[in-house]
Amino acid sequence: MKIQNQPTVKSGGLPSPLRGPSFSQYSQADQAILKDLYDQGDLRENADVGRVLQEYKNSLSGAPRVEGATGYHTYEEMNAALRELAERFPDKAEVVSLGQSGEGREIYALRVGNQDETNSKPGIVITGCHHAREWMTVEVPLHTATNMLENYDSDPASQERVDKTVTWFVPMVNPDGYEFSRTKNSWWRKTRRPIQETGCPNLKGNYGVDPNRNYWDGKPENFELYRPAGDTPCSTADDFGGGKTSDNPKADTYRGPSGGSEPEVQALLNLELNPANNIKGVIDYHSYGDMILYPYGSKELPSDRLEIYRDIGGKINQALGNKFDLMPSSDLYPTSGGSNDLHEANGILGLTLEIGRSFQPPAWEIPKQTAYITPANLVFIDEIKSRFTQA
């Protein structure tokens, strides 16, 4: 694997979503938009090109008119759905606040399963919506939690998962961005905290940080996972990955004023790195592209870890009908400050699943897509359970 500064263009000049009849059918103006989207990393392999173009155009005319938006859970509706599950299954599930977002919304987790006195059950975290516009990723954790709890009595495998692991479902890591994306600008990706001080005299502040570029656990030995060598603070000229992780506060991929600066990231790391939670595995949901990504974004895994990721990733892919690409996240594009890199650096297995073929499929696709993805979570939970349950 080679780390490159630009995303891979596989052959023929244009990337495959932009090649052939599926691209030439678009007007010159649309082709220019698609080219821009590609350059920003928003048009990927496996894209439903027409749908992504439509979603982009929807964002220009205002989110309330987005086709199919009604039907995705709002922030309040998601909180209510988590509370309802906790009320229906009081001895098995509990709603826990992990902290507050930049605008002061609680970031809730539904914890399924209870830790025992010796703190020996393996913990798992399943997160959605680091990125505001990736709406389907909000629905997947809720669906899997519901599945595990509702099938407890009838399905021995579900019972085992609930009894022998502690799984934390966090459907909305970035509630501020999500609500902004739902109501104001459906293309919004970052958080919404106003950044007054960028730490860079030459760079003016803006709104929000890309939370999946902001991860750092404060350990000096992991600092290069946040800012790789050669990426100078306050300089956008040498941004890592050709701008896919940026010091520019106006960029969609802004890494933030410092590593771990954002409250959403702190909330997640406090959950995941707390020894009392015994977290052994994390799946972080993103859209889109039908990809299973393992660490790192900026360097290669040692071979023993690679073997584990290939094994678990392969089993997850099997649960998804082998329709996903299993690869290191640097193969999508090189990045730093991603959540999984910090998981791996702390001995936690961390995978990213990029689901679907666009950012915002119509809401009527929610039942089908979530039912399709949930088996991937169940396989992952089973793997963590069998690998880390103490005899």
Burial class (CB in 10 A: 0-12, 13-18, 19+), 205: middle
Minimum CB distance to Zn ion, residue 303 (Å): 28
Report whether 169 contacts 390 (CB < 8 A).
no
* Nearest in space to 138 (alpha carbons), one of 221, 60, 81, 220: 81
**Which CB sits closer to Zn ion, 216 or 359?**
359
Looking at 286, 290, 349, 356, which residue binds Zn ion (CB under 5 A)?
286
Q: How many CB atoms lie within 10 A of CB 25?
A: 11
Stretch that binds Zn ion, among 43-51, 125-133, 255-263, 273-281 (CB under 5 A): 125-133
Q: Min. distance of Cβ 334 from Zn ion in angstroms? A: 15
- The footprint of Zn ion on this chain (CB under 5 A) covers a number of residues equal to 3
Task: Tell the smallest beta-carbon distance from residue 331 to Zn ion (Å).
Answer: 16
- Cα separations in angstroms, 25 against 18, 38, 49, 178: 10, 17, 11, 33
Is residue 213 part of the contact set for Zn ion (CB under 5 A)?
Answer: no
Part of the chain binding Zn ion (CB under 5 A), chosen from 41-49, 128-136, 294-302, 334-342: 128-136
Closest distance between Zn ion and the C-beta of residue 339, in Å? 10
Binding-site member from 44, 92, 131, 213 for Zn ion (CB under 5 A): 131
Burial (CB < 10 A; 0-12, 13-18, 19+), residue 33, is middle
Which residue is at the shortest CB distance from Zn ion?
A: 286
Is residue 51 involved in binding Zn ion (CB under 5 A)?
no
Measured on CA atoms in the order 233, 235, 241, 245, is the torsion positive or negative? positive
- For the bound state, the minimum distance from the C-beta of residue 288 to Zn ion, rounded and expressed in Å, comes to 9
Q: What is the largest CA-CA distance in the chain?
A: 64
Is 244 a residue that touches Zn ion (CB under 5 A)? no
| Owner of token pair 């999946």 | 212
Q: How far is the CB of 242 from Zn ion (least distance, A)?
A: 18
Which one of 21-29, 284-292, 356-364, 378-386 is the stretch in contact with Zn ion (CB under 5 A)?
Answer: 284-292
In contact, 69 and 129? CB cutoff 8 Å: no
Of residues 182 and 286, the one with the C-beta less far from Zn ion: 286
C-alpha atoms less than 13 angstroms from C-alpha of 188 in its C-beta half-sphere = 22
Q: Least distance to Zn ion from the beta carbon of 323, Å?
A: 19
Contact residues: Zn ion, CB under 5 A: 131, 134, 286
